[in-house]
Amino acid sequence: MPPLATLGNPAVNIGIFVAFVVATMTVVIMVTRGGLKKSSDFYTGGAAFSGRQNGIAIAGDYLSAASFLGIVGSVAFYGYDGLLYSVGFFVAWLVALLLVAEPLRNTGRYTMADVISFRVQDRPVRMAAAISTLLVSFFYLLAQMAGAGGLVALLLGISNPVGQNLVIVIVGLLMVAYVLIGGMKGTTWVQMIKAILLIIGVLVMSVWVMSRVGFNLSTLIQQSIDHVNTVKPGTGDHLLQPMGKYGTNKLGFISLSIALVLGASGLPHVLMRFYTVPTAKEARKSVTWAIVLIGAFYLLTMVLGYGAAWLVGAEKIKAMPGGANAAAPALAYELGGTILMAIISGVAFATILAVVAGLTITASASFAHDIYNSVIKKGTAEPQQELRVARIASITIGLISIVGGVIANGQNIAFLVSLAFALAASANLPSILFTLYWRRFNTRGALWSIYGGLISAMVLIIFSPAVSGNAAAMFPHANFAWFPLDNPALVSVPIGFILGWIGSITSDEHDEDKAIEMEVRSLTGAGAGGAIDH
């Protein structure tokens, strides 16, 4: 493999990258030629997508930079333990399918807060849900922006942190442009196109890798082990052994698993996708399509990860801009040279743009619909006012995410996403499940559950080894870590559930009529998608 600065041809790389941006922006403009006249156009694309279309878009939203770049890098470095991300991200969709997708679509309108505030005191609970939505979206945005910096740095051979930070700024500005021009409709079409391109690209690379070993997975894994042994004799077997990364911290392994499996059903940008279809049946069909596509994709990331460990090697990957996140583009270069690497990197970049646009819409919708209209204006804001506030919020969120992306640049993307999953599983999922399935749940329970899960997760993350105390931490030269686990889910998720239960049983508030109404609506779809009245 050539020296770092000449990996591929920067002119070709940037040309294909620009072509992807132009093509996707053209699609956004074409599908939104009528303009975004109503808030529902901006938030949910008018709920005009079929289950199949939305399922492909969900896959596009979910198969983020973490899925493609972070997981391939984790498998290349850690083998068996890296696959935990794939398994956890995939199994999470079974929870979403069985417990969340259909009843959530039946009881909400635009945001997660619509559901949680349905049968409790609206303003305080909606504010809590909105704060949680904004924080989870911010953590997820950090991961995508960091991925953009590393990926385009690799495309252009930029190892200078200032250059990488400039790339993050450009990505943030593009993200805001996508959102302001296309809203949810434009973003959904970009996500569908990106999902198809990403799955095709990963499939082509996987077949290419497998063809080199006679389509024998055992041979591929053995070749990976042999390559590691040539660099560090006797160490290759760690690619097959469980607990290679978590061997000294088994509780950390369990905590990460909890976050990955439960987090998806509490991610606001995933939940919001259930409102882009006209019926609950289509919402369920969306998740079925998403499961098929996501499952196939994650099987292929295993092939790419071991392929990168064999054909590129962990040591070379570590030396590249983006570190572990460069494994997939580096493997593409090894297989097909400059053109394949540029195409795969361009698809990965389109992945980042689509995901950050979806996250920005979700966060801006939560601010405009939940905080501005419902809390500040007490539901009296005109639709055009709300839409204007959503656009301003999009710009503000874009600027904040740029600053956060600069700070997080160089961190492993899959790890950053796991923190967002932990926040979602701790603050959002307990209150969603209690709201949908427990009649006794009330305002105090909702507030304690959301704030308790959110605060405990945030505090434990800040004082974890992921933030300080070791060379791989976000702040390697500081040491204020007293919590022993990188991921807080093992502690913070039970806190969210327990506080929701204690808060509910210690309060006399209970609206049986609203509880029955919600149960009927969630099960039958009666009044689904209508205005939420309190």
DSSP-assigned states of every residue in 38-49: SHHHHHHGGG--
pLDDT-derived band at 352 (thresholds 50, 70, 90) equals confident
Q: Which tokens go with 442?
A: 């009330």
Residue 112 has a pLDDT of 82
**b vs e for 130-142, b when ≥16 Cβ sit within 10 Å of the residue's Cβ?**
bbbbbbbbbbbbb
Mean pLDDT for 251-258 is: 86
pLDDT, greater one: 58 or 533: 58
- If you average pLDDT over each of 176-180, 260-264, 472-476, which comes out highest? 260-264
Residue 8 has a pLDDT of 62
The percentage of the chain sitting over the pLDDT mark of 70, rounded to a whole number, equals 88
Which range, of 39-43, 377-381, 382-386, 476-480, averages the lowest pLDDT?
39-43
- Tell me how far CA of residue 334 lies from CA of 80, 311, 330, 432, 452, in angstroms: 23, 7, 6, 46, 48
Q: Which tokens go with 493?
A: 């998720």
How far apart (Å, rounded) are the C-alpha atoms in residues 242 and 245?
A: 8
Instruction: Please say whether the beta carbons of 245 and 81 come within 8 A.
Output: yes
Mean pLDDT for 321-326 is: 73
Residue among 167, 208, 214 nearest 344 (CA): 208
Fold of 10-524: Sodium/glucose cotransporter (1.20.1730)
Mean pLDDT for 411-416 is: 67
- Identity at 334, one-letter amino acid code: E
Which range, of 231-240, 510-519, 520-529, averages the lowest pLDDT?
520-529
Residue 199 has pLDDT above 70, yes or no: yes
Instruction: Please say whether the beta carbons of 124 and 294 come within 8 A.
Output: no
- If you average pLDDT over each of 248-262, 301-315, 360-374, which comes out highest? 301-315
Q: Which tokens go with 206?
A: 């996987």
Residue 150 has a pLDDT of 67
Residue 45 has pLDDT above 60, yes or no: yes
Domain ranges of the chain: 10-524
Taking the whole predicted model, whether its pTM rises above 0.95 is answered as no
Residue 7 has pLDDT above 70, yes or no: no
Instruction: Please say whether the beta carbons of 467 and 450 come within 8 A.
Output: no
Instruction: Please say whether the beta carbons of 159 and 144 come within 8 A.
Output: no
Residue among 144, 159, 252, 143 nearest 474 (CA): 143
Q: Which tokens go with 208?
A: 């290419």
Helix (H, G, I), strand (E, B) or coil at 379: coil
**Helical residues (DSSP H) of 380-511, grouped into ranges:** 383-408, 413-423, 429-437, 443-462, 489-505
Residue 533 has a pLDDT of 40
- Identity at 309, one-letter amino acid code: A
Residue 506 has pLDDT above 90, yes or no: yes
Average pLDDT, the chain: 82
Spell out the residues 6+ positions from residue 471 whose beta carbon is closer than 8 angstroms to its own.
Answer: none
Instruction: Please say whether the beta carbons of 320 and 69 come within 8 A.
Output: no
Residue 322 has a pLDDT of 65
